[in-house]
Each structure stands twice: as C-alpha cells, then as structure tokens.
Amino acid sequence: MNGGHSHTVRVRGLKKAFGANQVLRGVDLEVRQGEVVVIMGPSGSGKTTLIRSLNFLETPDDGHVEICGIGVACAGGTGDRATRQAIQHIRRRTAMVFQSFNLFPHMTALQNVIEGLLAKGVARDAAIQTGMRLLDRVGLSEKAAQYPGKLSGGQKQRVAIARALAMAPEVIFFDEPTSALDPELRDDVLHVMRELAAEGMTMLVVTHETRFARDAADRIVFMEGGHILANCPPEEFFGDQASERCRQFLGRLGD
C-alpha cells in the first residue's frame, strides 16, 4: 500500500434517489492513490449505489465526482456532451468487478479478458500476450480456452478481475465480489485482491469479508441510511473504540 498523496477519488455531496427512496444523502468521500477502502454497511445502506455512481452505472442526482483528476458535476443529469465525454474518460481509467461476474458466456476465458483490448485497437497478438499474462497472474492460465459455463464461480470472478486489469485501470471498484461464491472459493478471489492491494492498486471494495477488511484495507467506510457513519482505519473500526452501531453491525456478521 503506497501512501501517494494525490486523491484518485473525490466525492462531494453525492445524492441519489430511486423514486421516493433517498439512497444517498449527500455523501463525501476521498480516496488517495494506492489506498484500499472497504465499504461496509447493512443491506440498503447505499454502498452499492455509491460505488456504481463512481463510474456512472447509476447517474447521481446531485453532487460532484472527481476521479483521476476528471471532474463531473452531477446536478441535472449527464446529458451534455462535455459531461458524457468526462464520464467516458473516467470509465477508461477505472474498472468494475461485479458480484455476478458479467462474463460473456459465448467467449472463452481468454477472449473475455482481451475483448476490451481488441475494442481499443490493440493488435490481437499483443492482446493475447497480455491476456495470458493476466490469466497467469490470477492463477488461471490453464483455463484460457474454457468457456465460463465450465468454470467455478471463483474462477469466473478471477477471470473478471483479469479482464478489469487488462484495461490498466488506475482505480478498481469491487461490488461484493465474493458474495455469490461458496466459502471455499472465496479465498482464491480474496488472495488475488490482497496481492493487488499489496502492489498499490487503488481499490474501493464493497464487501462483508471482515478478514479481508482487517488485513488489506487502509480504511473502512461504514454506511447506513445513505450516510457515511464511520470512516476510519480497520484497527479503530474493529476495535473497542468503535461506535455502538458499528459493533452491532459486526455482531450480526458473526465476526
């Protein structure tokens, strides 16, 4: 975890409602380059909406998002051309790993990893070389020719991480990356995530994995009711001085 001082992610006053349900109520958050921030909170707290708003899979209603130096003012939607361009620039410099993997079933593991590179105009040979290196990095080079239907959930998620890395992102967002996996398959995915953290990748991770949060996070952000209630180092969040609300939440996780 390198302690670079430039802020890779800056969020100010972020708001998002779905109908009458106010999911984000003016969230402020800063993440420095190389930081690993774990976002925890009960179901419906707004954590997934927050992370999806950072690469505009959800369009915030209000507030300001700045990622890798590219700023987007969110009031009034994302209609104008300059805003749409800024969002495209943010998406090129970030990657998202989803709970449900989102692999293309008709493509092999390798094709899934290199698809974005080919779309960017990278020559096929170079893309294949990069793809194989990244599959090797997540421990799956021998599965390169397999289709997702033949892979376990944990293997699919590691292919999804390799696909995210193929785009050479500056920030990776993870949305509950292990919650759809059997416990024994989670460790392989968390191991890859720990290695990325150790190498200094900037990561925002929505997860209930308390062990990963303790070991790999620089900070824990605890959300409830669309607000950030705690934003502190893991030793504080998991320690005796944590708020009663955080302790209740962790008690329910059976930590």
pLDDT tens figures, 153-192: 999 999 999 999 999 999 999 999 998 898 888 999 999 9
Predicted local confidence at residue 76, as pLDDT:
64
4-17 residue pLDDT tens: 447 789 999 999 99
pLDDT reading at 112 higher than 90: yes
238-250 residue pLDDT tens: 988 788 888 888 8
Predicted local confidence at residue 106, as pLDDT:
97
53-103 residue pLDDT tens: 998 999 899 999 999 999 998 876 556 888 889 999 999 999 999 998 899
Predicted local confidence at residue 82, as pLDDT:
85
If you average pLDDT over residues 119-147, what whole number do you get?
Answer: 96
Predicted local confidence at residue 1, as pLDDT:
37
Residue position matching structure tokens 């292919």: 159
Rounded-to-integer distance, Cα 50 and Cα 224, Å = 12
pLDDT bin (cut points 50, 70, 90) of residue 254 is: low
Q: Which residues pair with 66 in a beta bridge?
A: 10, 71
**How crowded is the C-beta side of 55, counted as CA atoms within 13 Å?**
21
Rounded-to-integer distance, Cα 39 and Cα 50, Å = 9
DSSP string for 132-144? HHHHHHTT-GGGT
DSSP string for the chain? -----SEEEEEEEEEEEETTEEEEEEEEEEEETT-EEEEE--TTSSHHHHHHHHTTSS--SEEEEEETTEEEE-TTTT-SHHHHHHHHHHHHHEEEE-TT----TTS-HHHHHHHHHHHTT--HHHHHHHHHHHHHHTT-GGGTT--GGGS-HHHHHHHHHHHHHHT--SEEEEESTTTTS-HHHHHHHHHHHHHHHHTT-EEEEE---HHHHHHH-SEEEEEETTEEEEEE-HHHHSSTTS-HHHHHHHHHHT-
| Cα→Cα distances 227→90, 158, 203, Å | 24, 31, 20
Predicted local confidence at residue 4, as pLDDT:
42
Six-digit token string for 225 = 């009711």
Predicted local confidence at residue 6, as pLDDT:
72
Q: Which fold has domain 7-253?
A: Rossmann fold (3.40.50)
Least confident of 19-23, 29-33, 37-41, 81-85: 81-85
Predicted local confidence at residue 2, as pLDDT:
40
Q: Which residues pair with 173 in a beta bridge?
A: 96, 204
Predicted local confidence at residue 241, as pLDDT:
77
Q: Do 135 and 143 meet the contact criterion of CB atoms below 8 Å apart?
A: yes
Query: How much is the mean pLDDT over the chain?
Result: 91
Predicted local confidence at residue 243, as pLDDT:
85
- pTM assigned to the model: 0.92
pLDDT reading at 255 higher than 60: no
pLDDT bin (cut points 50, 70, 90) of residue 251 is: confident
